[in-house]
Each structure stands twice: as structure tokens, then as C-alpha cells.
């Protein structure tokens, strides 16, 4: 599942955030689809809202061998509500789900996250969350008792944050939809804290791979510059 209901208004775009281009001919959504295909996934549900017709027109019902299915919200459901709606609409209660926020650029291995998820499931941990280092948005000032010693530009801090990619092993013992309240709600606030208390949320930690959350225009420009430098040719 890819959560594609976000609006790119803060980015200066009058279209879904998932359709913001990283380079000519390559949107955030298409880059995510490429990653899912590379991981061996063959069926993808796009959870759409605003601008759903733009996404459907661009992606269609098949994308480079991936089967594309749409779960469109007719009113604002939030991330949790959109996921719950998709699970119930398409009866996905016994399926293994990979869920991605539609504004995340990740160059790590989804296969490794899936492998970690399988290992954790054997221990009764049904949700595996990608966690990544917290990078300061600001430069850091180092001081002694009186003087500024040096500046450090946007360092990696000793904390980890939610990377916006989850693997959920649905089974008889665990159905994610049962823990999602009636919409609208955000799964990060309404469901994950409760599941953490139940001890069923594990992690896959990635400290090396490129990860960008597209929140601002600066994030878009950073991503575009990186893609230009890397000269990525996906197909």
C-alpha cells in the first residue's frame, strides 16, 4: 500500500505530493513503485484522495509489470482510516502488507526489511517499522565556557525517527484494522502508540541508506539535486 492522499500545496504544487517529479519523467510515486517491484512485490494498492484522477491517469492499472489497484477515499480519512478502508474493502486480513508513506524517498533494501519482519513475526512481533537517524535541520554551535569553538552543519543526532515504511504480517492472531479507530485518524498517533504498548511493533534500523521525507520545497530541491548527481537510470 502506498498512501497517496497528500496534497503538494506546501511544495508549491497543485497536485498530489506523490506526483512531484524527482527528475524529468520520474515522480516520487514511480520511484516507490520501482522499489516495490525490485523487492519482488507484484500487487500494489494506491490509497488516493485529492487528485486521484491525476494518479490514475499517470499510473493506470498496470505499471511495468505491477498490478495496480486503487482504494480512493471519498472524504478525509487520515492515514489510519485510509489503511483500514483498504484492508476492509479488499479483504486483506490474512495478507502480508508493505505500507509506505507517499512522500518518502528511500534507497535501502525493502527485501532486508521483509526478512527482518519474518524473523520478528516468529517472536510475536507483527509490525516492523523502518527507523532512520534523526538529522538536525539546523547547524549546531559548539562552545567552551566563553567562546564558540566551531560550527557543525546539520549533524546526525543520537536518536531515531519513524521512516514511514512498515511491514505488517496479517494473520489469525493479528489484524491491523481492528486497532485503527473510526476515521478520520492518523495511524502514527492513534494506533502505533497502542501497539507499542502491546509489544507487537519491532524495527529495522538503517543508518546508511539515503532517506528523505518530502515536507518542504527545500526537500524537493535536495532530492532533485541528489538524483541529478547520482544520474539514476531505473529503466
Write the pLDDT tens digit of every residue in 83-125.
999 999 999 999 999 999 999 999 999 999 999 999 999 999 9
pLDDT of 57: 96
Mean pLDDT, the chain, whole residue set: 93
Query: Is 235 contained in some domain?
Result: no
pLDDT of 70: 98
- Residue 232, pLDDT > 80, answer no
- The residue segments making up the domain with residue 160 are 2-230
How would residue 31 be classed by pLDDT, with cut points 50, 70 and 90?
very high
- Residue 235, pLDDT > 50, answer no
Into how many domains does the chain fold? 1
Query: Is 85 contained in some domain?
Result: yes
CATH number at residue 25: 3.90.550.10
- Residue 137, pLDDT > 50, answer yes
- Residue 231, pLDDT > 80, answer no
pTM as predicted: 0.93
How would residue 234 be classed by pLDDT, with cut points 50, 70 and 90?
low
The pLDDT of 196-202, averaged and rounded, is 97
Contact (CB, 8 A) for 235 and 34: yes
Query: Is 38 contained in some domain?
Result: yes
For residues 10 and 31, which has the higher predicted lDDT (pLDDT)?
31
Query: Is 135 contained in some domain?
Result: yes
Amino acid at each position: 500500500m502506498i498512501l497517496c492522499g497528500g496534497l503538494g500545496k506546501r511544495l508549491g504544487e497543485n497536485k498530489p505530493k506523490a506526483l512531484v517529479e524527482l527528475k524529468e519523467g520520474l515522480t516520487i510515486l514511480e520511484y516507490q513503485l520501482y522499489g516495490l517491484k525490485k523487492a519482488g512485490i507484484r500487487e500494489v494498492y494506491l490509497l488516493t484522495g485529492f487528485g486521484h484522477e491525476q494518479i490514475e491517469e499517470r499510473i493506470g492499472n498496470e505499471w511495468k509489470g505491477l498490478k495496480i489497484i486503487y482504494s480512493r477515499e471519498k472524504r478525509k480519512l487520515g492515514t489510519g482510516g485510509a489503511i483500514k478502508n483498504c484492508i476492509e474493502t479488499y479483504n486483506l486480513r490474512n495478507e502480508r502488507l508493505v505500507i509506505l508513506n507517499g512522500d518518502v524517498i528511500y534507497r535501502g533494501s525493502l527485501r532486508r526489511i521483509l526478512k527482518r519482519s519474518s524473523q520478528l513475526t516468529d517472536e510475536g512481533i507483527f509490525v516492523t517499522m523502518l527507523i532512520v537517524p534523526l538529522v538536525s535541520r539546523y547547524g549546531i554551535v559548539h562552545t567552551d565556557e566563553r567562546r564558540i569553538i566551531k560550527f557543525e552543519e546539520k549533524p546526525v543526532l543520537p536518536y531515531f525517527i519513524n521512516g514511514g515504511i512498515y511491514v505488517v504480517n496479517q494473520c489469525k492472531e493479528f489484524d491491523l484494522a481492528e486497532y485503527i479507530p473510526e476515521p478520520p485518524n492518523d495511524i502514527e498517533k492513534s494506533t502505533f502508540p497502542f501497539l507499542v504498548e502491546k509489544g507487537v511493533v519491532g524495527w529495522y534500523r538503517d543508518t546508511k541508506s539515503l532517506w528523505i521525507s518530502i515536507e518542504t520545497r527545500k526537500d524537493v530541491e535536495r532530492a532533485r539535486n541528489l538524483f541529478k548527481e547520482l544520474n539514476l537510470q531505473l529503466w
